[in-house]
Amino acid sequence: MNNNENVTATESQKKRLMAFFKTGQKITSLEALNDLGIYRLSARLSELENIGVPISRERLQVINRYGEQIRIKRYWIEPYRKAAELKEIANKQPRVRLFNPGAYDRAEQAKNELDELIKNNPILFPEYK
């Protein structure tokens, strides 16, 4: 593999990872390898952070297949997670406020929060500029 093929693979992996994060989901290194074909998740995350993408992380304790307790990290992009949550709420908005004013108002609030989230994160939502 020459250097240009390696750069292409790296960029392709970052695109797959960002597409995954845009769904609002979290991922571990093992999931990245199995689901996205990314062997060096930490390298791709570092590259994203270097261009200003805010990566959130948490440590988890899990039991491996040998019964041992181990620590792993799970990663996500909080604005994408929040955007996915707000979109789901906004999409459940009743057509008419009269029949369910609480749900209607919550959906309107979610739409406003989503607009604000997009406005405050131009690196993550360039398609909305």
Span 13-29, mean pLDDT? 95
Give the pLDDT score at 4.
Answer: 65
Span 15-29, mean pLDDT? 95
pLDDT in tens, 80-104: 999 998 888 888 766 656 667 777 7
Both tokens of 2, joined, read 């020459």
Give the pLDDT score at 98.
Answer: 62
Confidence of residue 129 (pLDDT cuts 50, 70, 90): low
Between the alpha carbon of residue 70 and those of residues 62, 103, 120, the distances in Å are 5, 42, 37
pLDDT in tens, 51-71: 999 999 999 999 999 999 999
At the top level of CATH, the class of 3-76 is: mainly alpha
